[in-house]
Amino acid sequence: MATASRDQKLDALLADAARVFADNGFHRTSMRDLAKATGVSLAGLYYYVESKDELLYLIQSRNFDAVLQNMRERLDGVADPIERLFLFIDNHLDYFVSHLPEMKVLSHEAGALVGDYLTRVNATKREYTRSLMDLLAAVERAHGPAHANRRVAAYSLFGMMNWAYTWYDPLGDLGVELLSQNIGRIFLGGYVGLPVSASSIPHSSAG
């Protein structure tokens, strides 16, 4: 049966696994590597997960679901399209930076999922993408025609944000707020040509 201690240990296992997957890649990581990293025996891992594939799925789905849910909560009650878009970006990058290993696995190992696991995560991905597209449509309604194709814009924004795992250093000078603000400005300035003032950016200081 599902004990509370079992759930806690599974959480810890997923966190450790995400770190190892992020460092060495999913396919390069063996279950023996994970056993070493977690302190659990090789056979013991299979008490918590069905397979290595399920391990990857759990990391991706849990964190993706969290991003989606946080986003909805933060956008709830906010009406201004520009502010909503900034909140979307800030939410994504905020979670990204505070869960770097997990989000690297989510961004980089999307193609490593198979079968039903892939189908399920892709459903969430479509939902999340649709949310961004709707936000962009709302921005266009409020501020006139966009300067770029909406679909290209959406994927470009995801590219800007998700590519961060290849270069962003959480210990460096660049804080999350600044990262989020910079990407928000580049994207919004380019997409609708708005002069972006610091006051319209949530949770930020002038840069």
Please name the amino acid found at residue 11: D
| b/e sequence 102-137, b meaning 16+ C-beta within 10 Å | bbbbbbbbbebbeeebbeebeeebeebeebbeebbe
| Residue 16 interacts with DNA (CB under 7 A): yes or no | no
Residue 51 interacting entry, from its own copies, DNA, none, C-beta within 5 to 8 Å by type: DNA
With CB under 8 A as the contact rule, the residue among 30, 41, 151, 170 that binds its own copies is 151
Q: Looking up tokens 């459903």, which residue turns up?
A: 123
- H or E stretch covering 15: helix 4-24
| Residue 189 interacts with its own copies (CB under 8 A): yes or no | yes
Mark residues 41-80: x for contact with DNA by CB under 7 A, - for none: xxxx-xxx-xxxx---------------------------
Residue 68 interacting entry, from DNA, its own copies, none, C-beta within 5 to 8 Å by type: none
Residue-by-residue DSSP string for 67-107: HHHHHHHHHTT---HHHHHHHHHHHHHHHHHHTHHHHHHHH
Residue 47 interacting entry, from its own copies, DNA, none, C-beta within 5 to 8 Å by type: DNA
- 48 versus 184: smaller Cβ distance to its own copies: 184
Q: Least distance from C-beta 72 to its own copies, angstroms?
A: 22
Residue 40 interacting entry, from DNA, its own copies, none, C-beta within 5 to 8 Å by type: DNA
Q: How far is CA 107 from the centre of its chain?
A: 7
| Residue 205 interacts with its own copies (CB under 8 A): yes or no | yes
Residues contacting 73, CB < 8 A, separation 6+:
none
Largest CA distance in the chain: 60
Binding site for DNA (CB under 7 A): 1-3, 5-6, 9, 29-33, 40-44, 46-48, 50-53
